[in-house]
Amino acid sequence: MSQNVINKQTDENIKSYLTEDGIENKTEDDKWSDVSGGGENKNNSKKNKKLIFAVLFLILAVVLAVAYFMYLKGQQSFDNKKVKIEVKSPDKIPSGEEITFTIEYRNGTGVKLKNPKVTLFVPEKFVFTSSDKKVIKEAAVLSWNIDDLSVGESGKIKLFGRITGNKDSEHEFNSKISYVPSNFNYEFQSADNLSKVKIKITSVSFDLSLKCPEEIITGNEIDCLVAFENISDNDFRKINIKADFPEGFTFVSADPEVSGETENSLSWSVEEVKTKARGELFIKGNLAGEKNEEKEMKIVMDIFGSDEELLECISKKFIVKTQEVPIALEQTVNALESFSVNKGEEMEYKIKFENISDQEIRGLVINSELEGGVDFDSLEVINGSYDDKSNKITWSAFNVPKLAVFKSGDEDEVSFKIRVNDYFDIKSSEDKNLVVKNKVIISSFNFNDDEAKIEKEIVSDEMIVKINSFLFIRTKGYFNDDGRIKNNGAIPPEVEKETTYTIHWNLNNLLGDIKNVKVASVLPDNVKWTGNYIKSNGEVSLGDENNGAYTPESEEESEEEGKEDEEKSKEENNNNEDEVNSQDDSETEEYQMTEERFYYNTVTREIIWEMPELSANTGLISPSKEIVYQVSITPEDSDVGKTIKIMNEVGAVGFDEFTNEEITTLESELTTELPDDYSIGAEEGIVIDRSEEEE
């Protein structure tokens, strides 16, 4: 009997009871009697109510019992073990070969299965090709919605794909079928939950290998070799090789160059790989890690067919163990750890090392490899040897006995001296920012080991010393010059007669760019500024002693008054396009000049030439920078029989952008002897007094 029938019968019984004996058949007088009559009527009413509730409770209990009985009976009548699913495939295949999978299913129950769905869970290396039924693909899950399965009905699905992987690797496929039995309202699935099949890769098309050192001192350079060979009888359209590196790896170089690079991986693409073709990849980097930390290197090769379809995937792994550095290494030059040097300067290298491990180290060898702008003929090695073919300096137990057995806590040092080149072969503007590199490598040879006496690198250190720019100022004086500024007066110079001279400043710079360049010289007491000069761009500026002259504001003037005076000074000296503003002596290093300026300071009597930048190799690759100006002198009686100083020493200073060093130079004073004016003899620079001759 169904639950609906029971519920209906119960409703009819209650209705009949209420109709025959209940309230509905009572007259109005009876109803009034129940309410206002005697106690007997009242008690009868209460008994009737209790009887109704008892009947209702009994009926509800019967309904629940019948429903539970029907549920148990339905469960016992449906056996989900009779719903079968099975995946059929070869159990062994070559990597990348296309295979056929058959998924068979059958309804062995006594009821119809509604909304059946077949699901196949595929491994990572599976590449789906096609299926004979419409498939739904979601990541590593393939599923098919199939038609309802009648009692005893069966079916199958065919799908095609490839499995790629390393030789002897196993790949598992899992399947299930879900459905709703016609006598239930919820979903079941195959009783054995998952139907499994495993496929083993028996062969691959390529032989792939990865070779790296098994151990490395943390932070040291590591070299890895990837080798591959097409061992199949097939040609392939393309292979892609990807190298994955662990944290702590820093890429340095590769041969051939990489096709792609990310933070922790490199990739190469090789086209048209013929049968039996071979190839190699060399990878260089640095690897850092903790003591005994295992670092995994991984190589993955993807093989493609003519239609760019992925045919095969092969991978190899290699574990490298990092070790702590047992040797502490430090090198200094002239007792400094990092600095710059000037051309022609002698450098003394000291290499200090200490065994900071708890074990002795046997057969230490120290190599120092120099390169850069140094004169190897000046090399002086202390207790070591030098190979002029490789420019390598070596210290070993043969000349430093302590290196034979270097005990825990031992420390020592080796040294050599060498001079920076005084001459550099500059051929282009790119020949600048030169350095001297010295790479120190400490290795050990364990001669007690019967295996190959292979050198094992322990620690290395590279020191780079920058070579400063070379600033050079040349001062020349002329009476007979090129005519752009005309000189007048007596030659040789005479007492109480004014003679004018043109002074040339030629500024050169080698090896590096220099910024904020300033050239200055103070005029001797008896020498005057004439106001005639030629700018570095060749523009001639002629005038009186105010032309090109600058008078700085006094310290007593306020800032506002100073600005007014500055504007007034500009107006008074409108012929001087290079009029300058005063600069405080305490100007900071961050200050950057913005334009070239040349002027005469009337207070300090300095002639000053400033420029924002002087390019490397000015005067060699490009012409020298030159400024020309005129001065005058009137000899006195005390000058007779002497040459007169017409220019004091000239100083130049700038800031080397590459070495971050201040660069200075000094040029000697200039006299009326005028060594660069070949039209004037040496004796024609000596002051004479013609008045004495006339007497």
Rounded to an integer, the average pLDDT of 231-240 is: 86
DSSP lists the bridge partners of residue 158 as 102
pLDDT at 366: 96
Contact 653, 667 (CB under 8 A): no
Domain boundaries, the chain: 3-77, 80-203, 206-323, 327-467, 470-694
Helical pair 39-77 and 3-20, crossing angle rounded to 10 deg = 170
What share of the chain has pLDDT > 70, as a percent?
83
Q: Are 102 and 195 contacting, i.e. CB atoms less than 8 angstroms apart?
A: no
> CATH fold of 470-694, please?
Immunoglobulin-like (2.60.40)
Nearest to 394 by CA among 362, 435, 351: 351
pLDDT in tens, 111-133: 999 999 999 999 888 888 899 99
pTM given for the model: 0.57
**Inter-CA distances, 158 with 69, 96, 273, 489, Å:** 43, 19, 33, 114
pLDDT computed for residue 41 by the predictor: 53
Residue closest to 607 by CA, chosen among 636, 647, 643: 647
With helix as H, strand as E and coil as C, how does 523-576 read? CCCCEEEEEEEECCCCCEECCCCCCCEECCCCCCCCHHHHHHHHHHHHHHCCCC
Question: 327-333 and 260-261: which strand pairing?
Answer: unpaired
pLDDT for 387 equals 93
pLDDT of residue 307: 73
Res 659: pLDDT: 94
Euclidean distance between CA atoms 539 and 221, whole angstroms: 58
| Distance separating alpha carbons of residues 639 and 687, to the nearest angstrom | 6
pLDDT computed for residue 566 by the predictor: 42
Do residues 646 and 670 make contact, with C-beta atoms less than 8 angstroms apart? yes
pLDDT in tens, 297-306: 999 988 887 7
**Confidence band, pLDDT 50/70/90 cuts, at residue 29:** very low
Cβ contacts of 345 within 8 Å, gap of 6 or more? 419, 420
Residues 89/198, Cβ–Cβ less than 8 Å: no
Cβ neighbours of residue 617 closer than 8 Å, sequence gap 6 or more: 426, 429, 431, 432, 509, 510, 511
pLDDT of 195 reads 78
Quote the DSSP letter at residue 686. B
User: For the chain, what is the total number of helices (H) and then of strands (E)?
Assistant: 5, 46
Domains 327-467 and 470-694 belong to one CATH topology: yes
Note the Cα 629 to chain centre separation in Å.
Answer: 53
Are the CB atoms for 663 and 653 separated by under 8 Å? Answer: yes
- The DSSP element (H or E) to which 18 belongs, if any, is helix 3-20
Report residue 504 as tokens.
């040339």
Radius of gyration of the chain (CA): 50
Q: Find out whether 175 and 119 touch, Cβ atoms under 8 Å.
A: yes
Domain boundaries 327-467, CATH class:
mainly beta
pLDDT recorded at residue 570: 42
pLDDT digits (tens, 9 = 90+) for 538-585: 999 999 999 999 998 754 443 443 344 444 434 444 444 344 343 444
639-659 average pLDDT score: 95
Beta bridge partners of 251: 285
Cβ contacts of 371 within 8 Å, gap of 6 or more: 391, 436, 437
C-alpha–C-alpha distance, residues 520 and 581, integer Å: 16
CATH number for 206-323: choose from 2.40.110.10, 2.60.40.680, 1.20.1250.20, 3.40.50.720: 2.60.40.680
Average the pLDDT over 614-642 and give the result. 95
* Topology of domain 80-203, CATH: Immunoglobulin-like (2.60.40)
pLDDT digits (tens, 9 = 90+) for 185-234: 888 887 665 678 899 988 888 888 899 988 888 887 889 999 999 888 88
